[in-house]
Amino acid sequence: MASNDFVLGLKCRVCGKLYPKGAHFFCADDSGPLEVAYDYEKIKPHVSRAKFQSRPKNMWRYRELLPLDGEPTVGPQVGGTPLIRADRLADALGVERLWIKNDAVNFPTLSFKDRVVSVALSKARELGMRMVGCASTGNLANSVAALSASAGLEATILVPADLERVKILGTAVYGAKVVKVSGTYDQVNRLCTQIVMEYGWGFVNVNLRPFYAEGSKTVGFEIAEDLGWRFPQHVVCPMAGGALIGKIHKGFTELSTLGLVDQPVTTKMYGAQAAGCNPIADCVKSNRERHKPVRTPNTICKSLAIGDPADGYFAAKLIRETGGWAEDVTDAEIVEGMQLLAKTEGVFAETAGGTTLAVAKKLIESGRIPRHEEIVICITGNGLKTQDAVFDALDEPAVIKPALADFKELVGLGERVAEPALV
Ligand SMILES: *Cc1c(COP(=O)(O)O)cnc(C)c1O
Ligand SMILES: [Zn+2]
C-alpha cells in the first residue's frame, strides 16, 4: 500500500507554511527547515499493531508512517535491530530496568544511518535522481556509499580530511567518489549546500533532509513495539545534527496519536555529546535558547562532531519540554563507556556509543535519571569502525611457547580452576 495520499507536504518548522513534496529543504519566507507532514486521520484506518507485526521485522513494517509514494527500492531490509534487556549493565550502573537499542548491528553498514539513507535514496529514485551524495562525519558516508551502490546510483561523498581511515575505506570500497575537504564538518556541509544549488544532485542530508530525517522515527517505533507497545520513561540518545533525538520522540508521538500505544508520551529525552564538541548539551545546561556553534571540534568521537548542528535548536527545545537533560563527557570517559558496554553486555559500540553510555552513567549518578525507572540507551554505531579509540586502553596479550608448562606458569597454579565436567 503506497503512502502517497498520507503525506500532506513539507511543512516549515518555524512558520508552518506547507510546501509540496519534493527536493525542497528550507522555507522561502524565513529559511526555516522543512519537515514531512502527514494526514493522521487518513492513516488511522490503514494501520494496526497486528498489521505491522505480520510484516518482516525491518523498518519498512511501519511504511504507512514513512514518506515514500511507493514501495522502498533502496535498503528494503534495513532496521529491525535488537532491543536488549541489559541486566549486567544495569547492575554496573545501579539501576533496575535498562535496555540497549542496538543499531551497531544495523544492515548493511552497522549504524543507524542505514535507516535515514534508505528513505532518502528511495525518495531520490522516486524523484528521478541519478546523482546522490552527502556531507558526512563517517557513518553517513558508509551508508550512502553502500546503499547507492546497491541501487545503481552514482554517489559523491564529502568528508572532513581528518576522518578515521576505516570510515574512508568503508566508503571508497563501494566505488563512491570520496572527496576529503580540509576543514570542519560545518565547512564541508556549507560546500555541499553550494553543490546542491549548482548541480541539483540529491544530497541526503541537504535537499533530501526532510525525507532522510523521517527514517530515524523507526528507532522509536521499534523501541515501543519491542517493549510491548509501551514507551520507556527515559531515553538517552547521541546527538550530532540533533535530528535522531527529535525523531525518536516524533515516532512515539505518532504511535500515541494513532492509538497504537494507548498512553500519552511522557518519555523524557536525554541528549549525549562529547565535551570536545558539545553545542547542544552546552545550550541545555546553560539554559540558552540557541546553541553557540563550536568552531573547532576536538574529540575522538568524530561521528558526533558537528559544531553547528542543523537541528540544534529543536533538539534543545525538545529536551527541555520533555523534562529531560543533556550532558557531555571527556574522551577518557568515552573510552571507559565503550569498555563498560563491551564487558557487561558483549556489545562493541563505536565512540558515539561510549559517549551515550558515559552520559547515561553521569545522569544516573547525578540523580537526573531515577534509578528505579525504565531507561533505554541508544547505541547507534559499531566499534569495529573506531578501533583506534580503544587500542591504547587494552593490554597486549601475553605470548607463550606452545607448551602446557608455559601456559601453567602464565595462569598461575594456585588460580587453576577446572570445569565441573573434569572434576
Ligand atoms: C549521525 C550519528 C548520530 C547522530 O545523528 P543526528 O541525527 O545527526 O543527531 C549518532 N550516532 C552515530 C553513530 C551517528 O553516525
Ligand atoms: Zn517558514
Pocket test for ligand 1, best of 100, 112, 144 (most atoms within 8 A of CB): 112
Whether residues 232 and 196 share a domain: the answer is no
Identify the residue whose C-alpha is closest to ligand 1 atom 8.
Answer: 241
Q: Residue 355 belongs to a domain with what CATH number?
A: 3.40.50.1100
Identify the residue whose C-alpha is closest to ligand 1 atom 11.
Answer: 380
Closest CA to 351 of 388, 301, 284: 301
Q: What is the mean pLDDT of residues 308-313?
A: 96
Atom of ligand 1 nearest to the CA of 116: 7
* CB within 8 Å of 42: residues ≥ 6 apart: 5, 6
131 part of a folded domain: yes
Whether residues 66 and 192 share a domain: the answer is yes
Percentage of the chain exceeding pLDDT 90: 93
Percentage of the chain exceeding pLDDT 70: 97
Q: Which ligand is nearest to the CA of 27?
A: 2
pLDDT in tens, 114-153: 999 999 999 999 999 999 999 998 999 999 999 999 999 9
Q: Supply the pLDDT for residue 415.
A: 56
Q: What is the mean pLDDT of residues 231-245?
A: 98
Q: Supply the pLDDT for residue 14.
A: 95
Give 416 Cα–ligand 1 centroid separation in angstroms: 46
pLDDT in tens, 265-303: 999 999 999 999 999 999 999 999 999 999 999 999 999
Q: Which ligand is nearest to the CA of 103?
A: 1
| Residue 246 confidence class, pLDDT cut points 50, 70, 90 | very high
* pLDDT surpasses 70 at 351: yes
53 part of a folded domain: yes
Whether residues 320 and 180 share a domain: the answer is no
Pocket test for ligand 1, best of 102, 111, 308 (most atoms within 8 A of CB): 111
407 part of a folded domain: no
Rounded CA-CA distance 66/251 in Å is 10
Q: What is the mean pLDDT of residues 155-161?
A: 96
248 part of a folded domain: yes
* pLDDT surpasses 70 at 259: yes
Whether residues 288 and 195 share a domain: the answer is no
160 part of a folded domain: yes
Question: How deeply is 109 buried, as exposed, middle or buried, from its count of CB atoms within 10 A (0-12, 13-18, 19+)?
Answer: buried
Whether residues 201 and 291 share a domain: the answer is no
Region of poorest pLDDT, from 21-25, 172-176, 303-307, 346-350: 21-25
* pLDDT surpasses 80 at 376: yes
Give 26 Cα–ligand 2 centroid separation in angstroms: 8
Give 419 Cα–ligand 1 centroid separation in angstroms: 44
Pocket test for ligand 1, best of 157, 244, 291 (most atoms within 8 A of CB): 244
For the chain, the domain total comes to 2
* pLDDT surpasses 50 at 3: no
Whether residues 298 and 352 share a domain: the answer is yes
Give 21 Cα–ligand 2 centroid separation in angstroms: 15
Contact of 99 with 85, CB cutoff 8 Å:
yes
Q: Supply the pLDDT for residue 284.
A: 98
405 part of a folded domain: no
* pLDDT surpasses 90 at 414: no
Whether residues 257 and 348 share a domain: the answer is yes
Q: Which ligand is nearest to the CA of 312?
A: 1
| Residue 306 confidence class, pLDDT cut points 50, 70, 90 | very high
Whether residues 286 and 372 share a domain: the answer is yes
Give 237 Cα–ligand 1 centroid separation in angstroms: 9
Among the candidates 196, 212, 228, a domain finishes at: 212
Whether residues 104 and 231 share a domain: the answer is yes
Q: Supply the pLDDT for residue 416.
A: 59
* pLDDT surpasses 50 at 209: yes
**Helix (H), strand (E), coil (C) string for the chain:** CCCHHHEEEEEECCCCCEECCCCCCECCCCCCEEEEEECHHHHHHHCCHHHHHCCCCCHHHHHHHCCCCCCCCCCCCCCCCCEEECHHHHHHHCCCEEEEEEHHHCCCCCECHHHHHHHHHHHHHHCCCCEEEEECCCHHHHHHHHHHHHHCCEEEEEEECCCCHHHHHHHHCCCCEEEEECCCHHHHHHHHHHHHHHHCCEECCCCCHHHHHHCCHHHHHHHHHHCCCCCCCEEEEECCCCHHHHHHHHHHHHHHHCCCCCCCCCCEEEEEEECCECHHHHHHHCCCCCCCCCCCCCCCCHHHCCCCCCCHHHHHHHHHHHCCCEEEECHHHHHHHHHHHHHHHCCCECHHHHHHHHHHHHHHHCCCCCCCCEEEEEECEEHHHCCHHHHCCCCCCCCCCCCHHHHHHHHCHHHCCCCHHHC
Mean pLDDT taken over the chain: 95
Atom of ligand 1 nearest to the CA of 238: 10
Whether residues 205 and 257 share a domain: the answer is no
Q: Supply the pLDDT for residue 283.
A: 98
Atom of ligand 1 nearest to the CA of 111: 13
* pLDDT surpasses 70 at 413: no
Q: Which ligand is nearest to the CA of 111?
A: 1
Q: Supply the pLDDT for residue 1.
A: 43
400 part of a folded domain: no
Give 214 Cα–ligand 2 centroid separation in angstroms: 19
| Residue 95 confidence class, pLDDT cut points 50, 70, 90 | very high
Give 24 Cα–ligand 1 centroid separation in angstroms: 22
Rounded CA-CA distance 412/189 in Å is 56
397 part of a folded domain: no
Atom of ligand 1 nearest to the CA of 381: 13
Range of the domain at 176: 3-77+113-212
Whether residues 307 and 198 share a domain: the answer is no
Give 22 Cα–ligand 2 centroid separation in angstroms: 16
Q: Which residues line ligand 1 (CB under 6 A)?
A: 111, 113, 139, 238-244, 303-304, 350, 352, 380-381
Q: What is the mean pLDDT of residues 33-54?
A: 97
Whether residues 263 and 321 share a domain: the answer is yes
Q: What is the model's pTM?
A: 0.96
Q: Which ligand is nearest to the CA of 34?
A: 2
| Residue 412 confidence class, pLDDT cut points 50, 70, 90 | confident
Among the candidates 194, 212, 230, a domain finishes at: 212
* pLDDT surpasses 70 at 417: no
Among the candidates 212, 230, 246, a domain finishes at: 212
